[in-house]
Amino acid sequence: MRLRGSAALLTALAALVATGLVAGPAAAGDRQSGRCALPRTSAHHSLGVDTWNEDYPRPARSLDAVMIFLSFPDSEPLLTPRELASDHFPATSDFFRRASYGKFALRPHPLPGWVPMPADSTSYAIQRDWSAENRTAYLRDAVAAADSRVDFSQYDIVYLVADPDAPGVDSDATKVVNFDTALRADGTDIRRVVTVFEKHPPDRHVLAHETGHVFDLPDLYHRPSDGKGDWDTHVGDWDLMGSQFGLAPDPFGWHKWKLGWLDAGQVECVPWGTTSRFTLDPLSAPPPAGGQRGNARLAVVRTGENTALAVEARDSTGNDRGACSEGVLIYRVRNGTASGGGPIEVVDTHPRTEACWDSSVYPPLADAPLGVGERFTVAPEEARVEVAERTGSGGWTVQITTG
């Protein structure tokens, strides 16, 4: 649906403009991005950014994560907990530090020893989409086994890491389990746990992906109904919530906005029916030195009540150092589409070509970004994006025309 078709939205915009006049220029930046802030919906892991879902820990400042290593009677572990902890840390904390521009620290607390489970690894029938009964038995046993060694009230995140060499452990089963009824331990509610069944070494960025769910980020891959088709048609390599093997895993600017790692002043809300020209700093570049503000990192065109186009610059630096191509990336955001249903869709500005076929998770989208001197009209939204130049400090000057 196009903007002009939405009476409710236009009313809301008029109200915002009115309050903006009263509030004065100091608040103008916030109100500008506020017009582009899609509302949060009841969809699982909705991409609405107007409010935070308090059921989830918000990754601001720091969070503490306990990592519990589970061994089983049917297998003598070949690895030490320390070796398994180093599969994930400090890499995962480093990833989030870079992604958040230093605003968020994930503090891991790996237990030094194995916690013995009471039953054989094979007894839980661990697998992707395993039965609720077996999974509940596993989780209850794990929390009970660890309870004497862990004060769960001290932690925001719980990682349960199974001995990768135990015969019943299936790496496809790694996921976040959200409880309908919270588990109670040490006077605290455990609402969810991350169950890790990875091999050693694990999939790249797998723990960061699962931790993204703990922060209410959705799956961006598309799960084919037969399990055999292509999973990565929606976002390809862009953003770790697509594939844990993606070449450019830095979270989308939209995700960073949702999490609070981009503030309102770093989001350029492009008014409908205008031509706007501005500079975007690369999403994965560190913040400017000396406490300077820098340019916006995300531009948004609101295209309807529940839809938006997002535009950001992707460089091969920081978390994206392995990116296949650099340029200005465009994607569609839908706040009412649930996790795994395609809430984000990357726009391929080079639909006839592919890139990095030997390393990309989805080569057709590996060359999706727009390069300097190129222009592309996103249909049916009728938004024209043009990359004018690169600035001396590495920014990308972009012109967007809508309506």
Interacting residues toward Zn ion by CB under 5 A: 219
Ranges of H-type helices in 89-162: 91-99, 132-146
Tokens of 387: 């990359």
Q: Report the C-alpha gap between 52 and 258 in whole angstroms.
A: 8
Tokens of 117: 């489970």
Q: 216 or 315, CB closer to Zn ion?
A: 216
CB of 141 to Zn ion, least distance (A): 24
CB of 140 to Zn ion, least distance (A): 23
Q: 115 or 207, CB closer to Zn ion?
A: 207
Q: Report the C-alpha gap between 292 and 8 in whole angstroms.
A: 38
CB of 215 to Zn ion, least distance (A): 12
Strands 188-196 and 157-162: parallel
| Cβ proximity of 212 and 240 under 8 Å | yes
Cross-strand pairs, 188: 185
Q: Report the C-alpha gap between 353 and 367 in whole angstroms.
A: 7
CB of 258 to Zn ion, least distance (A): 16
Neighbours of 138 (CB within 10 A): 25
CB of 235 to Zn ion, least distance (A): 12
Q: 243 or 325, CB closer to Zn ion?
A: 243
Select the residue whose beta carbon is closest to Zn ion and give its number.
219
Q: How many residues does the chain have?
A: 403
Q: 219 or 367, CB closer to Zn ion?
A: 219
Q: 221 or 396, CB closer to Zn ion?
A: 221
| Cβ proximity of 243 and 372 under 8 Å | no
CB of 105 to Zn ion, least distance (A): 23
Q: 198 or 219, CB closer to Zn ion?
A: 219
